[in-house]
Amino acid sequence: MATIYYDKDADASALSGQKIAVLGFGSQGHAHALNLKDSGFDVVVGLRDGSSSAAKAREGGLTVKPIGEAVAEADVVMVLLPDTSQARVYGEEIAPNLEPGNMLMFAHGFNIHFRTIDPPGDVDVTMIAPKGPGHLVRRTYEQGIGTPALVAVHRDATGKALQRALAYAGAIGCARAGVIETSFEEETETDLFGEQSILCGGTSALVRSAFDTLVEAGYQPEIAYFECLHELKLIVDLMYEGGLSWMRYSVSDTAEYGDYTRGPRVVNDATREEMRRILDEIRGGAFAKEWIGEAEAGFPNFLRMRQEARSSRLEEVGRGLRRMMPWLESERKVPPT
């Protein structure tokens, strides 16, 4: 059984009197910084010069400083910058300002696991990785509940790394929901595999293939969109509430029979074989090498694929349909161009 920690295991005194620098004010950064402040911790937000987030952070009542200064005055440094920027910022602004006994924290193990960041032996290196996007980490905290998280200790220099990390998890609300113990290796490999094979990659490829199949067979694109994308949420909500059995109990017998007999034809032995290859590329470092190379080249393939995907038939149909459902449209759901 996995070890799961809760509020009773997250003793805030492990961080008492310690200043926390949260680097970045994006999805995770804004949630961590505001939750820490509301939990009574001394927080400073570290941002690069000219960051457009600085005004928002100040509006939220937070102190903002350049990254190097924030690190220099903090005891705990949480790195919430894009994974592809962390190694450079670490080398230039974090490493020169770290002191023995500090704790360096991450919300994803990528850079430690793939060794693009190699912290000195006298600092604690830990991870608190919320299992949800930042706006949920903030919203659930305000509601008095929390988002589950993972905790991992890469290096315990002070002998108190786990207690300090758990105190942090308590302060951002995650220990209310449960904090599962893992390693940087396990978190990094399972996180990448999950987003590639199912959460983002697998699911969006299934949606696109099913939509295209119906449209190519002459059905109305609007009907295909509702069937293959829109309704997916209702099904996933049922899975989330009670697993596959509850979803199958709630749909018709006809749908359940189709699930058992047709599902394994769509996702078959060849798919599993490909999933194993994807996992091998992650574990062997080939994916990390490819993605770091893409970042170093200025994201040419990534930006081209993003543009192509946004102008697909599926997305155009969706934009039209959502205009009929204005309550679904918020500023946030329209990607910046």
Between the CA of residue 150 and those of 75, 107, 181, 190, 302, what are the distances in Å? Answer: 21, 9, 6, 12, 28
- Binding status of residue 25 toward ligand NAD by CB under 6 A: yes
Q: Which does 224 bind (CB under 5 to 8 A by kind): Mg ion, ligand NAD, none?
A: none
CA 306 to chain centre: 19
* Site for Mg ion contains 187 (CB under 5 A): no
Can residue 168 be called a binding residue for ligand NAD (CB under 6 A)?
A: no
Hey, what are 73's tokens? 């005055």
CB 35 within 8 A of CB 172: yes
Give yes or no: 113 in active site: no
- Establish if 148 lies at the interface with ligand NAD (CB under 6 A): no
Catalytic residue among 32, 108, 113, 154: 108
Tokens of 153: 């200790």
Site for ligand NAD in 67-96 (CB under 6 A): 80-83, 85, 89
Q: Which of 74, 191, 282, 287 contacts Mg ion by CB under 5 A?
A: 191
Residue nearest to ligand NAD (CB): 26
Q: 125: burial class by Cβ within 10 Å (0-12, 13-18, 19+)?
A: buried
With CB under 5 to 8 Å by kind, the binding choice for 202 among Mg ion, ligand NAD, none is: none
Chain centre to alpha carbon of residue 296: 22
At 10, give phi and psi (nearest 5°): -105, 80
Q: Which two tokens stand for residue 3?
A: 């070890």
Partner interacting with residue 93 (select from Mg ion, ligand NAD, none; CB below 5-8 Å by kind): none
Active site residues: 108
Give residues in contact with Mg ion (CB under 5 A).
191
Q: List residues near ligand NAD by CB under 6 A.
A: 24-29, 48, 51, 53, 80-83, 85, 89, 107-108, 129-130, 133-134
